[in-house]
Amino acid sequence: MEHQHHHEHHEAGGAGVARLEFIVREVSPTEALVRYDCPCGCKPSTEYVRDSAESDHEHCCCGNVHFVGPNARADLDQYLAERRATGEDDDVGGYDIHEETLAAPWGGQIPVVYGLPHRPRKH
Ligand SMILES: [Zn+2]
């Protein structure tokens, strides 16, 4: 069941969030959904397959972007470098990068890396 949370956020200056709270959901014994409730109202999610070397990622409309998988950091860096090169992120002014490790449903760990834009876009 999907639960709807309606939290009122009153953020001074609208400077965006400091970090994201990820939720890991078991899809199958070898697949997990990694998602978060974005402050902009979206629910970006990625799928990670157990022991996979491939990253999955989701880039929210507001600019928050997250990658899951063992190569998440390198893949995120490359993704953002390409966007910077083409000027696609000129309006957000760069990203703060965060790394964390989530507990996988099968007992291992899922690395997650995410970037929070300095100037989030409007939803
Ligand atoms: Zn968002």
- Please give the distance, rounded to the nearest whole angstrom, from the Cα atom of residue 44 to the centre of ligand 1: 7
Residue 7 lies in a domain: no
- Please give the distance, rounded to the nearest whole angstrom, from the Cα atom of residue 28 to the centre of ligand 1: 26
Domain range enclosing 39: 21-117
Residue 107 lies in a domain: yes
- Please give the distance, rounded to the nearest whole angstrom, from the Cα atom of residue 108 to the centre of ligand 1: 28
Residue 9 lies in a domain: no
Backbone angles phi, psi at 68, to 5 degrees: -120, 150
pLDDT digits (tens, 9 = 90+) for 11-39: 444 455 689 999 999 999 999 999 999 99
- Please give the distance, rounded to the nearest whole angstrom, from the Cα atom of residue 43 to the centre of ligand 1: 8
pLDDT by residue, tens only, the chain of 123 residues = 555 555 554 444 445 568 999 999 999 999 999 999 999 999 999 999 999 999 999 999 999 999 999 999 999 999 999 999 999 999 999 999 999 999 999 999 999 999 999 999 988
Residue 38 lies in a domain: yes
Number of structural domains (the chain) is 1
- Please give the distance, rounded to the nearest whole angstrom, from the Cα atom of residue 115 to the centre of ligand 1: 11
Query: Closest Cα partner for 36 from 22, 26, 24, 17?
Result: 22
Residue 50 lies in a domain: yes
